Structure 1
Amino acid sequence: MSATTATATPAKPLPTLDPVSKGFWDLANRGRLSVQRCDDCGHRHYPGAPVCPRCLSRQQTWEPVSGRGTLLSWVRFHRAYWEGFAPDIPYVVILVGLEEGPMMISNLVGARAEDVPIGAPLEVVFERATDQINLPKFRPRRG
């Protein structure tokens, strides 16, 4: 009788929840996309920062947004910079311009990148990674 060993696929790196990003991940965990909004000047930005990049105020709030955006660009990775991505090679990373202004880097799901023209409308969907991490990804907008 021969013994076999199962080789587990290495895990993908996960975001670190810190005091600045915690609000984003709390809302994502409930299926809501958010950006940081300055309570003093109203500037919306992503990723979060300890101070507003416009006025330097420390008063920041994570504000839910529509989850709609536009495909600005994409790239197909043919190399796994982390072992956990090796089974996904090649994979697509996209740049999304959110309706509310900020841009976000994510992944395209539900379509091949070459079938989605630059400028196409997108909508957020979430992929559960752990009990605390619900990853925002984007698909072509329906309807």
Structure 2
Amino acid sequence: MAGYNTASTRPLPRLDADNRAFWTGGEVGELRIHQCQDCKGYVHPPRPVCRHCLSDKVAPVAVAGTGVVDTFTVNHQKWFPAMELPFVIARVALDGAPGVILTTNIIGCEVDAVDIGDRVRVHFEQHGDVWLPLFEKVA
């Protein structure tokens, strides 16, 4: 991630034409992932060309915003001055978007309560124009 926002407790991405829909979809409660209009494959990180068929007909679509913790680690290193420790860094396999795994944080629970296979749902955290897709465990 590039960029720095002193009002944020995290480093923030630099928005561009390719990634803007992903980082701003939270404003309307949508987790948006690029999908190829030709082969219907999902493309993440967002790119202007499909990684499956090389079509340039890719566009963001709203996905369910739920998934499963694929793997995770608990971070104890202060990589950014305002970060609160410890926190969970996880890979979340998204429901309804085959092959898309987001690297994100699991929030809203103790770090030792997270496990592989946990069901999670998106929770957006706003920082200026950016809406970070973080995930919470589903009860």
Query: What TM-score comes out, normalization by structure 1 length?
Result: 0.83
71, 77, 80: which is aligned to 1:79?
A: 77
TM-score (norm 2): 0.85
Q: Which residue of 2 aligns with 1:90?
A: 86
Tell me, what secondary structure is at the counterpart of 1:83?
coil
Which one has a larger percent strand, Structure 1 or Structure 2? Answer: 2
Q: Distance in 2 between matches of 1:103 and 1:77?
A: 19
Alpha-carbon spacing, 1:10–1:24, altered in 2? closer, same or farther (3 Å): closer
Query: What secondary structure is seen at the aligned counterpart in 1 of 2:22?
Result: helix
- Structure 2 residue 99 is the aligned partner of structure 1 residue 99: no
Residues 49 and 89 of structure 1: CA distance in aligned 2, closer, same or farther (over 3 Å):
same
Letter in 2 for 1:137: L
Q: Retained in 1: the 8 A contact 2:65–2:94?
A: yes
Work out the CA distance in 2 between the residues paired with 1:47 and 1:97: 14
Residue in 1 aligned with 2:136?
139
Unpaired runs of at least 5, structure 2: 1-5
Contact preservation (8 Å) 1:69, 1:97: yes
Which of 7, 11, 14 aligns to 2:12? It is: 14
Whole-angstrom CA distance in 2 between matches of 1:114 and 1:97: 20
- Structure 2 equivalent of residue 23 of structure 1: 21
Aligned-CA RMSD value: 1.8
Structure 2 SS opposite 1:13 = coil
State whether structure 2 residue 63 is matched by structure 1 residue 65. yes
CA distance, structure 2, for counterparts of residue 53 and residue 137 of structure 1: 25
Kindly name which structure, 1 or 2, has the bigger radius of gyration based on alpha carbons. 1
Q: What is the identity percentage for the equivalent residue pairs of Structure 1 and Structure 2? A: 29
46-55 or 9-18: bigger deviation: 9-18
Moved runs in structure 1, 4+ residues, more than 6 A?
Answer: none
State the shift of 1:37 in Å: 0.1
Query: 1:75 and 1:65, CA in 2 relative to 1: closer, same or farther beyond 3 A?
Result: same
Provide the C-alpha distance between the structure 1 equivalents of 2:114 and 2:101, rounded to a whole number of angstroms.
18
Separation of aligned partners in 2, 1:96 and 1:33: 13
